[in-house]
Amino acid sequence: MGLFRPRRSGRASRWLEWKVRIFAVGAVLGLAGIFLDDRILVIAALVVLAVGAGLRLLPEEKEPRERGEVDDQETPDDADVERDEHSTL
């Protein structure tokens, strides 16, 4: 059940905003279809929600440090601070 198992990576998906938008559109279509008793709107809502669920299957972009790239904004002073934080006195 890999689709329903939560990912515990500690960071938000890059598709999170789109997933929320798609869910909102699907929910509005679904509620409108129920209210108006229109089967086509309900089916459209299911298709939109399926697309939103499909976004979960897209690969995540690796962080720059995982790809071996160096952060351009990091200065030598930042690296010294990181080393000092990890050293024990």
Distance CA 33, CA 43 (A): 8
Q: How many residues does the chain have?
A: 89
- When pLDDT is averaged across residues 20-26 and rounded to a whole number, the result is 95
| Interval 37-83: pLDDT, tens | 999 999 999 999 999 999 888 777 766 555 565 555 555 555 555 55
At 56 the pLDDT is 83
Q: What is the value of pTM for the model shown? A: 0.56
Q: pLDDT at position 85, please? A: 58
